[in-house]
Chain A
């Protein structure tokens, strides 16, 4: 079969576009978790918060017919789930790991319950950005100027998070609380309030990531549609060594692996499809091992109080 150059270009463009859409929900969830972890809280409930966000977003959008209401509902749902975690793990000082895992299980179960009646309901399409001329450029046109609005939002959010964490007083306080909660308390900052707000932000971002899955990526609701993306987002934060800029690179990398393995399956490479499906998770493990070898970088950026509960003394 003969392929014209135009077909190759179209295929390449298609692959790149799907990589971007696969990376976006990871980026959303990871940004939120990065901020929470910078404040010293390890919230393993990302997967659960994404699932709740996905189902609430889809339910609100398909009931009202307004995608924007769906997005808002997802954000609020993510924050509600996060506040549950925050209250239990911060104010009642429960073990953060156990609470986070419980939140994931709870979120997956609850989303199944809420979403039961929406299974099979068609989604509402969200228009992509279309800038005349620019969007029609070959290859890069649609890639850079013709994505859905969420893609731009995710990148802007990563940039804004970097700016906030490293250039503003609020970000400095978050990093201080994550580095040495007791010193921060002694200086008069409210450790628990700072951490709670960071966890809420994490919930909002995870909810947004979930909404992206059910409103744009699929777009429909199916049980457990988050498919482990919350866990990959958690790994992504470590991979990025808690730096927002690296998070964008990492999200694209993981997006690429998960898309390319689909294409590899479609082409019919002689590797069992199950192995290819494992690829994103294998890459996660390998990436974590590689990144952990760079002790110097990690020691500077790893929040020293990560996962440690804070109780004010005296």
Chain B
């Protein structure tokens, strides 16, 4: 998304609000933090950058009192302090918004907030206070709603309001935009601006570099537990920031070979229409698309415009009445299920890694079997599992795709997001599928892993497969797609060559206003429901 907040941001020239000096944290012999220095000034948005495993979470947990440093000192407004627990941190004036919310679904907004604030006994008064604060900071909330009825963005607002009611001077936000639509993210940035205008400092953890460049005044970059640089993110390019995080220059993607112009069609979608499966879903309207061997087509769009429904229709999780709606390598597959479509040479990587792409409590080798049991790998012989073969495959995937794991064959749930994503994408690419459909290939994945994944997608396409990428990350689509189509309210635009498009044009198409596409129903896109 284009920055809405224009103009240079200068770091406020004030004394330190909080200082971490020489923080070292040992887990056994492993140094998660190695004499880290961090200074946050009042009124600034301070980015904490680093790859997964760089020690960001450890540092933040120390600042929020849930971990104690092995060495080092924390100073709050110049005074040395010991932050013994999260409640001690809150008393000092440190609030934190977690990546995974700690809310109670069955309780109302007011009740959720009352639980965290032991000093507010009158819930009617608290509800009024919530309304007031949420209006003040542009975080509209109905105090009487139950959490279960709220969208992910609204849930985050509850967490933020909960922090704000404690009048924090420092707000820590862990990957706040990883669950938000671009619009919701913009709203959040405006809220953060209002906060900093009042002198509150924000420690902003993210690995979305564009966003850090857009809103942060200052950045501290961690690598392998050490501070490797401090900089003004607006002065750096995204790739400079990325190379600071990763250490080496981030691998520049190579797609020198131009996509073939007259190759055979691998995947063909014809007049695909499907009604919405449940009230919060989106219906698909007359979608047609052709993918040729050797090319990557990107599907852009705002979350909740039918991406999930389109993926399900392609993968065979939902089938159609007519066989010719989806054709894989010349064979009609519209009425076939997932396994039958895999047998035709297609492979699918869904958006949710955990639960949809992998079973967290199963080992990696078992997870291999889940998508590879019927694809000619001979993992099943008369219904009996070949465990040796499964392990060999899992090992091969782990090696070829640089999956970093704690044990030889760990449970899928124990891998970090980026590593699990490399594994799931690798599991499908290892088969050399003729068609690969992948949804949000690098969602929540750090820069290093994202570069690896994008490169293997390009390599797969150039070796003669057709690759379809459904992504909300425009940078990613521009980086690797040869042609781009936009999905909006269940309609898919005609794909056009990526080089002929500007971000503005795509932005208009995403809003459903360009190309004379039928504008259905309401102007606003359906909010993404969790």
Contacts and interface: CB of A to CB of B under 8 A. Distances in A.
A41 to B, nearest CB: 16
B26 to A, nearest CB: 16
Contacts of A186: 102
Nearest to A175: B107
Contact of B114 (A169, A184, A299, A300): A169
A183 B102 contact: yes
A22 interface: no
A303 B104 CA distance: 10
Interface in A137-175: 169, 172-173, 175
Given A183-B102, A188-B86, A299-B148, A172 B107 contact: yes
B111 interface: yes
Nearest to A186: B102
Contacts of A187: 102, 115-116
Contacts of A173: 115
A179 B104 contact: yes
A167 to B, nearest CB: 8
A114 B86 CA distance: 51
A172 B102 CA distance: 15
A5 B335 CA distance: 73
A36 interface: no
A304 B148 CA distance: 11
A246 to B, nearest CB: 17
Contacts of A172: 107, 111, 114-115
A194 interface: no
Nearest to A299: B148
A176 interface: yes
A interface, size bucket: 20 to 34
B121 interface: yes
Given A169-B121, A188-B86, A179 B105 contact: yes
Interface string B95-130: 000000011111100010011101001000000000
B111 A183 contact: no
Interface string B345-365: 000000000000000000000
Nearest to B112: A176
Residue of A169, A179, A186 with most chain B CB atoms under a 10 A cut-off = A179
Contacts of B105: 179-180, 304
Nearest to B87: A188
Interface in A278-314: 299-304
A180 B85 CA distance: 21
Interface in A170-202: 172-173, 175-176, 179-180, 182-184, 186-189
A191 to B, nearest CB: 13
B485 to A, nearest CB: 37
A149 to B, nearest CB: 33
Given A172-B107, A176-B115, A187-B115, A300 B148 contact: yes
Contacts of B111: 172, 175-176
Contact of B106 (A182, A184, A300): A300
A148 B305 CA distance: 64
Contact of B107 (A169, A176, A302): A176
Contact of B103 (A175, A183, A189, A299): A183
Contacts of B85: 188
A176 B112 CA distance: 8
B104 A176 contact: yes
A166 to B, nearest CB: 9
B115 A179 contact: no
B146 interface: yes
Nearest to A185: B102
Interface in A46-96: none
A188 B90 CA distance: 12
Contacts of B118: 169
A299 B85 CA distance: 34
Interface in B63-117: 85-87, 102-107, 111, 114-116
Contacts of A179: 104-107
Nearest to B104: A179
Contacts of A184: 104, 115
Contacts of B121: 169
Contacts of B146: 300
Given A180-B105, A182-B102, A183-B103, 8 more contacts: A169-B114, A175-B107, A175-B111, A183-B102, A184-B104, A187-B116, A188-B87, A302-B106
Interface of B: 85-87, 102-107, 111, 114-116, 118, 121, 146, 148
Identify the 8 closest CB pairs spanning chains A and B, nearest first.
A183-B102, A179-B104, A179-B106, A180-B104, A186-B102, A176-B104, A176-B115, A172-B111
29 contacts: A169-B114, A169-B118, A169-B121, A172-B107, A172-B111, A172-B115, A173-B115, A175-B106, A176-B107, A176-B111, A179-B104, A179-B105, A180-B102, A180-B103, A180-B104, A180-B105, A183-B102, A183-B103, A183-B104, A184-B104, A184-B115, A187-B102, A188-B87, A299-B148, A300-B106, A300-B146, A301-B106, A303-B106, A304-B106
